[in-house]
Chains A and B, each alone.
Chain A
Amino acid sequence: MSKWVVDAENITKVYQMGEVEVHALRGISVKIAPGEVVAIMGPSGSGKSTLMNIMGCLDRPTSGEYSLNGESVANLSDDQLAEIRNRGVGFVFQSFNLLPRATALANVELPMRYAELNGRNRKEVSRQALEAVGLGDRIRHRPNELSGGEMQRVAIARALVNDPAIIMADEPTGNLDSKAGDEIMKLLRTLNEERGTTLIVVTHDPEIASLTDRIISLRDGRIKEDN
């Protein structure tokens, strides 16, 4: 294991909107150690999601150096990035992003299917992941038969099923009430403590941020504060 899970060096991201260039990130350098729990905060449009997508290898920086688990992503193909996301990153989204027709179990299984893991193992591992998020009795439910909090738990089970080094959650509590949001945060913290999974949470909510160890504040694509 390398010293840093996340190692970003002077990252910029520029979106070309026709004639106009949108500078979403203007030179961000950040290092995150294994097992850290980090919140990314900042006003809307400050570049939080953009930064997280780059850290999760969903997107590439316009310039700068980025390494995930010590592996530089600069020269990797789309499919190689997909493999890195599959093995190394678990995503949790604000809008859950579950497959609507699939059961909780099938949803959790999805990353393993792209990892080409053996079928019987997959079911067992998925079931265990659902148990770990407290949904052992909901494995046959489909998303429309689950509450928002439960759906987010399924998403968390899906994120951790390939045992990634890092879980990235973009406003995971944004669509939940404060009680359900609290529970989700507690769950994420527990996973961090039990498994040592690095956790990065994008949030607007100071309450949520207070449950983390380190807060990175962004403004206009730059780091304003990091402590």
Chain B
Amino acid sequence: MNLGASLLEALESLSSNKVRTALTMLGIIIGVGAVIAMLAIGTGTKQAIVGEIEGIGTNLLFVATNYEDVTNPEPLTIRDAEALNDPVFAPSVAAAAPIVQGQAELTYASNGTTASLVGVTEDYSRVQTIELSEGEFFSSTQVNGLASAAILGTNVAEDLFERSEGLVGETVRVNGQPFRVVGILKKEGGSDFGSSTDDQILVPLTTAQARLLPRREHNQVDLIYVSAIDSDSVKSAEDEISLILRDRHNLKLAEDDFIILTQELFLDFASTVTGVFTIFLGGVAGISLLVGGIGIMNIMLVSVTERTKEIGLRKAVGAKKRDILTQFLIESSLLSVIGGAVGIVLGWILSLGVGRIAASSDFLLNPAITLNAVLLATLFSAAVGLFFGIYPANRAAQLEPIEALRSE
């Protein structure tokens, strides 16, 4: 029997009971729609996070004390950072900037706020993009001289002064101590995760160490930001940092008492997490597709029972098993493929909606419908139709012609 005629006949048969066909398809539509939307959201989330991580700069490395694996680690110090800035032993390092960070209470007149305090050196601007809307970044003189100078993020400025302009020269109190405002950071806007520089206050590292965030050891820093000379040198920079710090900390055979994090590491981690997230979402949605498939099987079984006599007649006039099998398989596949196509459109609309909602709450997420997801959904729904159609179709094909003819 030729395929065109069979398709036409299947369409006719499906359209002869439109409500039932529509309801059966609905299961597949919802299933495929959910798969498409969930995969799109997963992919969008991944892209947003990867974009964020890439935003910190491909050349950047972070060096921190390894409190996890080592019982008594030697803390990182300003001297360590200086050693990393040595172009002879660390030719791949462009700049190393140590920081300390913590919380601080800020007040101005009767206004007060809590901000995240970062103690930085003049090199900080070489490892992070620092843009000021007014004023100037710290000089080495200010850093060396323990100056009581502060650079404010715009949110901090707004909280204290109710404006973010014309503030250079004002004095704020940080944990009760007076600091002169020397600059205001440009507004960064919504950040997807972590804290934004809008909520930060920057002070010279030395000042912070001495007066605001005392550490166990003199000169101790929390973190050293290192930028490699280019993105290809990240690996060699990592090796150089490791050599220098192991030597300075006199580790000999002992384990590293510091850890070096690179963007690659974050990216790996993030893609693992978002990958699991995407698979999870897709899997949950896949279950609804499965349920849709069971709906198809159910309705096809009903259809076979209802049409037993018709099947008997077809067999009497010469239909072979294969003819009956394909007839029913075409019907179930049509149900799932048409349902799948509608589901793809539904999924697309759904993910656009989710994208809108995310955008309105400042979460930058562009749900991405990939060709892969569409192919996957199409293949999967066709497979569902075939798989769940096989049992009913086979039952129809195996009917004995007279038994079938005799049925009412």
Closest Cβ neighbor of A170 among chain B residues: B405
B296-336 contacts to A, CB under 8 A, are: 309-310, 312-323
Q: Interface-forming stretch among A68-76, A79-87, A146-154?
A: A79-87
Q: Is B12 an interface residue (CB 8 A)?
A: yes
Contacts of B309 in A (CB 8 A): 97
Q: Is B402 an interface residue (CB 8 A)?
A: yes
B314-A116 in contact (CB<8A) = no
B184-216 contacts to A, CB under 8 A, are: none
Closest Cβ neighbor of A111 among chain B residues: B317
Q: Which of A82, A83, A85, A119 contacts B2 (CB 8 A)?
A: A119
Most central of A78, A82, A110, A116 by chain B CB within 10 Å: A82
A101 vs B11: C-alpha distance in the bound complex, in angstroms?
Answer: 12
Q: Is B401 an interface residue (CB 8 A)?
A: yes
Q: Which of A53, A86, A97 contacts B313 (CB 8 A)?
A: A97
A79 vs B397: C-alpha distance in the bound complex, in angstroms?
Answer: 11
Q: Which of B12, B13, B321 contacts A78 (CB 8 A)?
A: B321
B405-A97 in contact (CB<8A) = yes
B320-A113 in contact (CB<8A) = no
Q: Is A14 an interface residue (CB 8 A)?
A: no
Q: Is A176 an interface residue (CB 8 A)?
A: no
Binary per-residue interface labels of chain A (81-118) against chain B in the complex, 1 for a CB within 8 Å, 0 otherwise: 01101110001010001010100000000110111100
Q: Is B5 an interface residue (CB 8 A)?
A: yes
A78 to chain B, nearest CB (A): 7
B395 to chain A, nearest CB (A): 15
A99-B318 in contact (CB<8A) = no
A93 vs B312: C-alpha distance in the bound complex, in angstroms?
Answer: 12
B300 to chain A, nearest CB (A): 17
A91-B5 in contact (CB<8A) = no
Which of under 10, 10 to 19, 20 to 34, or 35 or more describes the interface residues of B? 20 to 34
B316-A91 in contact (CB<8A) = yes
Q: Is B72 an interface residue (CB 8 A)?
A: no
Contacts of B16 in A (CB 8 A): 101
Q: Is B253 an interface residue (CB 8 A)?
A: no
Closest Cβ neighbor of B6 among chain A residues: A113
B1-18 contacts to A, CB under 8 A, are: 1-2, 5, 12-13, 16
Contacts of B2 in A (CB 8 A): 113, 116, 119
B221 to chain A, nearest CB (A): 82
Task: Summarize A's interface: helix, strand, loop or mixed.
Answer: helix
Closest Cβ neighbor of A122 among chain B residues: B5
A143-171 contacts to B, CB under 8 A, are: 158, 162
Contacts of A93 in B (CB 8 A): 405
Contacts of A111 in B (CB 8 A): 317-318
B222 to chain A, nearest CB (A): 78
B298 to chain A, nearest CB (A): 22
B361-376 contacts to A, CB under 8 A, are: none
Contacts of B405 in A (CB 8 A): 58, 93, 97
A115 vs B310: C-alpha distance in the bound complex, in angstroms?
Answer: 18
Q: Is A207 an interface residue (CB 8 A)?
A: no
A101 vs B313: C-alpha distance in the bound complex, in angstroms?
Answer: 14
Contacts of A82 in B (CB 8 A): 315, 318-321
Q: Is A226 an interface residue (CB 8 A)?
A: no
A115-B318 in contact (CB<8A) = yes
B402-A59 in contact (CB<8A) = yes
B16 to chain A, nearest CB (A): 5
A79 vs B401: C-alpha distance in the bound complex, in angstroms?
Answer: 11
B317-A99 in contact (CB<8A) = no
Most central of B2, B5, B318, B402 by chain A CB within 10 Å: B318
Contacts of B401 in A (CB 8 A): 58-59
B12-A114 in contact (CB<8A) = no
Contacts of B5 in A (CB 8 A): 113, 119
A114-B319 in contact (CB<8A) = yes
Q: Which of A53, A87, A91, A114 contacts B320 (CB 8 A)?
A: A114
Q: Which of A53, A78, A86, A116 contacts B317 (CB 8 A)?
A: A86
A58-B316 in contact (CB<8A) = yes
B266-311 contacts to A, CB under 8 A, are: 309-310
Contacts of A119 in B (CB 8 A): 2, 5
A82 vs B313: C-alpha distance in the bound complex, in angstroms?
Answer: 11
Contacts of A59 in B (CB 8 A): 401-402
A85-B402 in contact (CB<8A) = no
A162 vs B312: C-alpha distance in the bound complex, in angstroms?
Answer: 18
Closest Cβ neighbor of B319 among chain A residues: A114
- Contact of A87 with B402 at beta-carbon distance under 8 Å, contacts A99-B310, A119-B2 already known: no
Contacts of A53 in B (CB 8 A): 402
A53 vs B401: C-alpha distance in the bound complex, in angstroms?
Answer: 10
Q: Give 19 CB contacts A-B under 8 Å.
A: A56-B316, A82-B315, A82-B321, A85-B317, A86-B317, A86-B318, A97-B312, A97-B313, A99-B310, A99-B313, A111-B317, A113-B1, A113-B5, A114-B1, A114-B318, A114-B320, A114-B323, A116-B1, A162-B318
Task: Show the binding face of A for B, using Cβ within 8 Å.
Answer: 53, 56, 58-59, 78-79, 82-83, 85-87, 91, 93, 97, 99, 101, 110-111, 113-116, 119, 158, 162
9 new A-B contacts at CB < 8 Å, known A82-B318, A162-B318: A59-B402, A79-B322, A91-B317, A110-B314, A111-B318, A113-B1, A113-B5, A114-B314, A114-B319
10 nearest A-B residue pairs (beta carbon): A86-B318, A114-B318, A111-B317, A79-B320, A97-B313, A82-B320, A114-B319, A58-B402, A58-B401, A113-B1
